[in-house]
């Protein structure tokens, strides 16, 4: 199954539709993911591509908007319908489709940058942030702090956050939220390097600072020296299981205010209850998704420790 947001972005990249036609994609479908089977996409692709190219040629500028219509989708630019999908889609992870990103209602990319800078400046007392294009011929960009920007430009251009053009409205909101409020401090421990780096990248992309540990003993040692907003531990790690780390922390009153989550492939309720009894607040199934991690961080900010 293919995510329609990614399909639209790929078409825009392939057709070299760069600034300033479409600034971002507004998701009003009511679902975080709108999926289409490749066989159905094959039928739609020529028409969808033609619709985007024609809109670009006619210089129709504004926001791409996906709206759910029965079991399918309609693509608009502002209020103008440019394409009907006419194929049944699969909708995953519902949410309330309310246009809450009013700060993203801009007419030019410069205005979009100004909005981001304004929000960031309010929190960082004069530190400016800018969107920087990695390559003017590509659709990838970074948000870079101006203070170390020369260092970053001269190095490998590792950024604090990255997104792809056209931006999803939720991505812009994530950037604004992460830069205009204090970032959560997260400890992540996993003995699998691939899993550790993948999960770390997802959390950083959501907008949080991540400290990593490669085993349970290392995680415990870090917690003895530092407090975290969120602690995410893999269960089966060498030297000490994740749940045993939480039990030790609970016994010694370490990081008592943090939200503690166990990562495991366990599905047995009795075993999950065992994690909770040892000190975990939440159990997350492996492999964990970005959506689950985002919800976990939101729970931490709201201080509502309910099982996901």
* Exposure string for 123-132, b = 16+ CB within 10 A, e = fewer: eeeeeebebb
| Whole-structure pTM value | 0.51
Assess whether pLDDT exceeds 60 at residue 135: no
Listed ranges 15-29, 164-178, 201-215; the one with the highest mean pLDDT:
201-215
Residue 117 has a pLDDT of 55
Whole-angstrom CA distances from 111 to 104, 118, 156 are: 9, 10, 28
Over residues 112-130, the pLDDT tens digits come to: 556 655 554 444 333 445 5
Give the whole-number percent of the chain exceeding pLDDT 70: 67
Residue 230 has a pLDDT of 95
Assess whether pLDDT exceeds 90 at residue 107: no
Residue with the bigger pLDDT between 81 and 154: it is: 81
Assess whether pLDDT exceeds 90 at residue 219: yes
Domains of the chain in start order, with CATH, are: 2-94 (no CATH), 102-180 (no CATH), 184-302 (3.40.50.2300)
Residue 283 has a pLDDT of 93
| Polymer length of the chain | 308
Over residues 253-298, the pLDDT tens digits come to: 999 889 999 999 888 889 899 999 999 999 998 888 888 898 898 8
78, 62 in Cβ contact below 8 A? yes
């Amino acid at each position: 199954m293919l995510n329609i947001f990614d399909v639209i972005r790929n078409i825009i990249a392939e057709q070299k539709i760069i600034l300033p036609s479409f600034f971002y994609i507004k998701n009003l479908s009511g679902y975080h993911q709108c999926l289409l089977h490749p066989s159905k996409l094959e039928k739609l692709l020529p028409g969808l591509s033609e619709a985007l190219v024609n809109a670009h040629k006619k210089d129709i500028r504004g926001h791409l908007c996906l709206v759910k219509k029965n079991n399918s989708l309609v693509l608009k630019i502002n209020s103008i319908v440019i394409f009907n999908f006419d194929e049944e889609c699969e909708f995953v992870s519902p949410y309330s489709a309310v246009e809450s990103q009013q700060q993203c209602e801009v007419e030019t990319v410069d205005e979009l940058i100004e909005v981001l800078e304004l929000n960031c400046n309010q929190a960082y007392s004069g530190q400016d942030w800018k969107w920087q294009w990695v390559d003017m011929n590509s659709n990838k960009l970074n948000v870079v702090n101006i203070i170390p920007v020369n260092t970053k430009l001269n190095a490998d251009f590792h950024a604090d956050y990255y997104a792809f053009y056209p931006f999803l409205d939720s991505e812009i909101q994530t950037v604004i939220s992460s830069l205009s409020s204090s970032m959560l401090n997260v400890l992540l421990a996993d003995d699998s390097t691939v899993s550790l780096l993948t999960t770390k990248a997802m959390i950083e992309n959501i907008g949080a600072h991540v400290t990593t540990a490669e085993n349970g003993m290392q995680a415990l040692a870090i917690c003895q020296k530092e407090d975290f907003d969120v602690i995410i531990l893999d269960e089966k790690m060498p030297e000490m299981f994740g749940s045993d780390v939480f039990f030790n922390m609970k016994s010694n009153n370490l990081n008592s205010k943090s939200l503690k989550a166990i990562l495991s492939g366990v599905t047995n309720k009795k075993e999950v209850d065992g994690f909770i009894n040892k000190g975990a607040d939440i159990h997350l199934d492996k492999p964990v998704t970005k959506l689950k991690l985002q919800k976990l961080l939101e729970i931490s900010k709201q201080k509502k420790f309910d099982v996901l």
